[in-house]
Amino acid sequence: MNYKKLSKLLLVPLFSVSMFFGINNNHQPAAHAASKRAVKVAYQVAESKLGSPYTYGASGPTTFDCSGFTQYIYEQAHVNIARTAQGQYETTKPIQRTQLKKGDLVYFGDSSDSISHVGFYIGNGQMIDAQNNGVITENIDAPWWSIVGYSRP
C-alpha cells in the first residue's frame, strides 16, 4: 500500500478521536464553559461571602485567599476548577477582554507564567475577589493590579 494513502487513512480516525475527547494540539485547555445556572449560583455564593476575611492558603468556607475563593464559589455551583490562580489560568478556557461576562475569571501578575491573583468578574468592569482587605468588590482596572488574562470556567 502507498504510504501517503496509509497516512491519510490513519489521520482521519486519529483526528476524529481527538475531536471526540477534546484533545487539541494548541496546548490550550479543552474546557467547557460553566452553565448559566452554575454562574448564577457562583455569583450568589460570591456575594454572600463579601466581607469574609483573607487568609493566605485558605479555601473557605469562612476565610479565603484569592484562588481559594474562586475555587470555593464554583465548587458550590458543582464546577471544579484548579486550586491555584496559576492552575485556574492554565486549565480554563482563555477568552479576550471583549468577551468578558459575569462568571469569568480575571488574572493578575507579572506574566502568564507568573499569575499572582484571580478575581470573579461580575460585569461593568467589576470583580469580587479575596485580597488583603478580605472579600470585596473592586474594579478590575485598579492601579495595584496588572491584568494578565481572562478565562471562562
Catalytic residues: 66, 117, 129
Secondary structure letter of residue 61 according to DSSP: S
Nearest to 87 by CA among 70, 62, 63, 110: 70
105/127 Cα distance (integer angstroms): 9
Is residue 107 within 8 Å of 148, Cβ to Cβ? yes
